[in-house]
């Protein structure tokens, strides 16, 4: 007989979440909720599927600077960002979007699946993580779990614990 954890992991794998991420998320001490939906590639595509999902929804940008440093910038979905203004705030050189090839090589994801949860695949720890302060301010934060066919709701403390287990200490910024 399967226990709740095994049932949860089976359900998550069916949604296309990689085994490695399922194992990490199973270490969580608070419940998480998975919301399956059709594939989405942009925030605008996802908004209709988020209407009934409470919490902070995120925009996740994998950026590459002029020196080749990779940056994952996570901000509330309704926040726009000027990359020229962002670069000095995070201490980077000129920023541009990372290519789909880089997404695949470094984070094992396709466009639309970017989130801090994909850092589980960054074995060489090439990515520097930046979180906008408001992402951690609520009771629930929502991310794509390495697939654009689902949204995962979790408590910000669980995100912090997940990142610590992976060895990441994010830079927290205020982009307001």
Supply the CATH number for residue 156's domain: 3.90.960.10
75 three-class SS:
strand
Task: Tell me what pLDDT residue 4 has.
Answer: 47
Task: Tell me what pLDDT residue 39 has.
Answer: 75
Q: Is residue 29 within 8 Å of residue 43, measured between CB atoms?
A: no
Q: What is the DSSP letter of 118?
A: G
Task: Tell me what pLDDT residue 104 has.
Answer: 95
**What are the tens digits of pLDDT across the range 64-120?**
999 999 999 999 988 889 999 999 999 999 999 999 999 999 999 988 889 999 999
Task: Tell me what pLDDT residue 54 has.
Answer: 87
Q: What is the DSSP letter of 53?
A: -
pTM (two decimals): 0.88
User: How many structural domains compose the chain?
Assistant: 1
Q: Is residue 127 within 8 Å of residue 11, measured between CB atoms?
A: no
Average pLDDT on 12-38 reads 82
**Distance between first and last Cα of the chain:** 50
Task: Tell me what pLDDT residue 30 has.
Answer: 81
More confident residue, 28 or 74: 74
Pairing of strands 171-173, 70-76: unpaired
Task: Tell me what pLDDT residue 118 has.
Answer: 97
* Host domain of residue 12: 4-173
């Amino acid at each position: 007989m399967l226990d709740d954890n095994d049932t949860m992991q089976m359900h998550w794998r069916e949604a296309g979440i990689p085994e490695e991420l399922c194992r990490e998320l199973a270490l969580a001490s608070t419940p998480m909720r998975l919301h399956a939906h059709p594939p989405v590639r942009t925030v605008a595509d996802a908004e209709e599927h988020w209407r009934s999902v409470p919490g902070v929804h995120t925009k996740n940008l994998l950026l590459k600077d002029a020196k080749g440093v990779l940056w994952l910038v996570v901000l509330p979905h309704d926040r726009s960002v000027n990359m020229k203004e962002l670069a000095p705030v995070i201490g980077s050189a000129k920023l541009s979007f990372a290519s789909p090839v880089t997404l695949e090589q470094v984070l094992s994801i396709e466009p639309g699946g970017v989130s801090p949860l994909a850092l589980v695949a960054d074995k060489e720890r090439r990515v520097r993580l930046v979180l906008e302060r408001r992402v951690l301010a609520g009771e629930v934060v929502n991310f794509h779990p390495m697939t654009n066919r689902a949204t995962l709701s979790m408590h910000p403390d669980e995100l912090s614990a997940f990142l610590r287990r992976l060895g990441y200490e994010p830079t927290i910024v205020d982009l307001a």
